[in-house]
């Protein structure tokens, strides 16, 4: 299966997952609003959600794929079984620790909520109910990495849809047939997420055992390869989840502002549609491609694949950044303004979304460039870049929040993305894998020009008609997409060869 066709399959499943995620979050906003219970639930949901996004978008792939790709198929299957067994034991121990120390976890996630004993107690309860999903999604990610390495993307692409579908079903039942307090609804949702995670794990394990035997289980043998793989796992997770960690750092600061946690959560979920798509493409499709080129010692092919991946990523990210900034208020109003979600929440979330969208292109660049370092097993370098981004996020969010509140925190997160992308470019230059060619620079200019034309069109459309409902917003989005597609074709940002490659 070609890189572009594999990317299309993974991309479609990622889009489907994000659409279900939008529906889920719309129902979250309707059922819980953006008050103290919503802050408590979304704080507890943040840690399992972070792990789910990082590992679900291939956060463990940088540690797994380069190591397993060097082994013969039989040895790789045995090693894969050892990895799954060791991780299962470690995750059971971690889950037990979190269940015991959930109060301390709640304090670390949202220090600003500690003075409100009722809200802090809810965070503790919801953390205990939702954290078991971490066990399931992490093991699912390991199984998915093994399947992706062998070019099998079907089950791994669509299994993650189960969690969002289960949460939507739970929300529909809770809203349709039962009258209960916000706190009770949130407790049911937290428990349902853990149950859905186990269903996803069963689906992926079934795919792993179908056909060619990709995993051989035995009593785990401690070998140098297994040791190096496990030691690489933690920095791989940190580096892969850099943007998620920036948002987590911003959420910790936002816990000192009323509804700040909820506003950042809802805004970030909108931004995750393009970002999650790009992350899934990078970890599931680009990383195995780069690992093969690195194993063959073909530096020219590595740089070429990196450039083409950046072109595809920015072809999506730049117009998404512009559209989210321009349409932040109508998007927030249409998606979330119903039920318990008040007008002040709509205004606050929209402003946060506009500020977060500024960091989207840089988050995209960091996601793609990190795959090259992962393929070269340069995990320490990517970890250092992620830590730099976290420090920049915390410091700038604290300073900007003093003047602009949650919107300033969102700007701090965007600055963290900028610093992370800059660090990635600097690191690649040092190892000789960053030298943009004319083809790449020319394509980047054409993408920027197409985005500018689309932005002008959207501004002009807003002057004539302000989108005030789902139908008008849909028309704006489709109109902007059509305008961007036409501009991309006319400027050469998308060529006939690109279209032919999809076949």
Q: Which of 435, 457, 485 is the last residue of a domain?
A: 435
SS3 state of residue 470: helix
Q: Are residues 369 and 443 in the same domain?
A: no
Burial class, 338, CB count within 10 angstroms (exposed 0-12 / middle 13-18 / buried 19+): middle
Q: Are residues 458 and 415 in the same domain?
A: no
Q: Are residues 92 and 174 in the same domain?
A: yes
Q: Which of 406, 435, 464 is the last residue of a domain?
A: 435
Cα-based angle 13, 366, 393 (whole degrees, multiple of 5): 110
- pLDDT at res. 326: 92
Per-residue pLDDT of the chain (503 residues; tens, 9 = 90+): 444 555 555 556 667 777 888 788 888 888 888 888 989 998 888 888 777 777 765 566 666 766 676 777 777 777 778 888 888 888 899 999 999 999 888 888 888 887 788 888 999 999 999 999 989 888 888 887 777 666 565 556 677 788 888 899 998 888 776 678 889 999 999 999 999 989 888 888 887 776 557 777 777 777 776 777 667 666 667 777 788 899 999 999 999 998 899 999 999 988 877 776 665 555 445 555 565 655 556 667 777 778 877 888 888 889 999 999 999 999 999 888 887 888 899 999 999 999 999 999 999 888 888 877 776 767 778 888 999 999 999 999 999 999 999 999 999 999 999 999 999 999 988 888 888 888 889 989 999 999 999 999 998 888 777 777 778 888 888 899 899 999 999 998 887 766 555 44
Classify residue 3: in a domain, yes or no.
Answer: no
Classify residue 476: in a domain, yes or no.
Answer: yes
Cα-based angle 164, 316, 424 (whole degrees, multiple of 5): 95
DSSP string across 230-261: HHHHHHHHHHHTHHHHHHHHHHHHHTTSTTHH
Whole-angstrom CA distances from 295 to 42, 71, 136, 225, 230 are 42, 11, 31, 16, 20
Contact partners, residue 413, CB within 8 Å, separation at least 6: 246, 247, 249, 250, 356, 359, 393, 397
Whole-model pTM: value is 0.79
CA dihedral 16, 241, 193, 264 (to 10 degrees): -80
DSSP 178: -
Q: Are residues 275 and 379 in the same domain?
A: yes
- Residue among 330, 257, 306 nearest 433 (CA): 306
Q: Are residues 87 and 63 in the same domain?
A: yes
Contact partners, residue 200, CB within 8 Å, separation at least 6: 136, 137, 140, 159, 160, 162, 163
Burial class, 114, CB count within 10 angstroms (exposed 0-12 / middle 13-18 / buried 19+): middle
Classify residue 2: in a domain, yes or no.
Answer: no
Q: Are residues 368 and 476 in the same domain?
A: no
Classify residue 16: in a domain, yes or no.
Answer: yes
- pLDDT at res. 412: 97
Q: Are residues 411 and 296 in the same domain?
A: yes
- pLDDT at res. 380: 79
Q: Are residues 82 and 211 in the same domain?
A: yes
Asked if 364 contacts 313 with a C-beta cutoff of 8 angstroms, the reply is yes
Question: How many whole angstroms separate alpha carbon 95 and alpha carbon 73?
Answer: 32
Structural domain count, the chain: 2
- pLDDT at res. 502: 47
Range of the domain at 178: 8-435
Question: How many whole angstroms separate alpha carbon 283 and alpha carbon 251?
Answer: 25
Q: Are residues 360 and 476 in the same domain?
A: no
Q: Which of 407, 435, 463 is the last residue of a domain?
A: 435
Classify residue 159: in a domain, yes or no.
Answer: yes
Q: Are residues 455 and 382 in the same domain?
A: no
Asked if 409 contacts 250 with a C-beta cutoff of 8 angstroms, the reply is yes
451-455 contact pairs (CB < 8 A, 24+)? 451/318, 451/319, 451/321, 451/322, 451/484, 453/483, 453/484, 453/487, 454/319, 454/322, 454/323, 454/480, 454/483, 454/484, 454/487, 455/322, 455/323, 455/326
Q: Are residues 410 and 444 in the same domain?
A: no
- Residue among 472, 195, 450, 469 nearest 338 (CA): 469
Structure tokens, 383:
């970890």
Classify residue 169: in a domain, yes or no.
Answer: yes
- pLDDT at res. 45: 86
Q: Are residues 261 and 136 in the same domain?
A: yes
Burial class, 209, CB count within 10 angstroms (exposed 0-12 / middle 13-18 / buried 19+): exposed
């Amino acid at each position: 299966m070609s890189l572009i066709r594999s990317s299309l399959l993974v991309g479609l499943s990622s889009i489907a997952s994000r659409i279900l995620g939008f529906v889920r979050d719309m129902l979250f906003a309707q059922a819980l609003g953006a008050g103290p219970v919503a802050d408590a639930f979304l704080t507890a949901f943040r840690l399992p959600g972070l792990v789910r996004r990082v590992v679900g978008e291939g956060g463990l792939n940088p540690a797994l794929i380069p190591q397993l790709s060097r082994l013969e198929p039989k040895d790789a299957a045995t090693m894969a079984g050892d990895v799954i067994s060791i991780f299962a034991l470690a995750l059971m121990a971690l889950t037990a620790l979190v269940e015991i120390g959930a109060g301390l976890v709640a304090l670390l996630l949202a220090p600003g909520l500690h003075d409100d004993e009722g809200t802090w107690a809810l965070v503790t309860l919801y953390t205990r109910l939702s954290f078991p999903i971490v066990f399931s999604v992490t093991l699912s990610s390991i199984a998915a990495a093994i399947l992706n390495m062998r070019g099998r993307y079907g089950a791994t692409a669509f299994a993650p849809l189960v969690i969002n579908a289960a949460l939507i079903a739970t929300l529909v039942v809770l809203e349709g047939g039962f009258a209960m307090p916000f706190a009770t609804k949130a407790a049911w949702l937290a428990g349902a997420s853990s149950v859905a995670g186990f269903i996803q794990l069963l689906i992926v394990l079934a795919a792993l055992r179908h056909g060619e035997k990709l995993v051989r289980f035995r009593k785990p043998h401690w070998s140098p390869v297994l040791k190096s793989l496990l030691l690489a796992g933690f920095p791989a997770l940190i580096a892969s989840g850099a943007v998620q960690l920036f948002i987590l750092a911003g959420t910790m600061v936002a816990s000192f502002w009323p509804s700040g946690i909820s506003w950042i959560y809802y805004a970030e979920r909108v931004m995750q549609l393009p970002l999650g798509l790009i992350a899934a493409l990078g970890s599931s499709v680009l990383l195995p491609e780069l690992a093969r080129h690195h194993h063959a010692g073909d530096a020219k092919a590595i740089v070429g694949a990196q450039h083409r991946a950046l072109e595809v990523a920015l072809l999506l990210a730049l117009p998404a950044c512009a559209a989210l900034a321009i349409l932040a208020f109508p998007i927030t109003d249409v998606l979330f303004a119903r039920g318990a979600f008040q007008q002040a929440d709509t205004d606050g979330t929209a402003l946060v979304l506009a500020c977060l969208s500024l960091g989207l292109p840089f988050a995209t660049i960091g996601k793609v460039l990190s795959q090259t370092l992962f393929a070269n097993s340069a995990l320490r370098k990517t970890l250092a870049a992620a830590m730099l981004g976290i420090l920049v996020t915390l410091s700038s969010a604290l300073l900007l929040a003093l003047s602009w509140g949650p919107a300033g925190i969102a700007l701090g997160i965007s600055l963290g993305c900028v610093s992370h992308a800059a660090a990635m470019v600097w690191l690649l230059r040092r190892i000789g894998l960053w030298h943009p060619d004319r083809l790449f620079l020319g394509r980047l200019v054409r993408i920027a020009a197409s985005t500018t034309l689309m932005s002008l069109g959207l501004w002009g459309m807003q002057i004539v008609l302000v989108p005030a409902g789902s139908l008008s917003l849909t028309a704006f989005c489709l109109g902007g997409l059509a305008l961007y597609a036409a501009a991309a074709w006319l400027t050469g940002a998308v060529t006939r060869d690109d279209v032919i490659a999809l076949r």
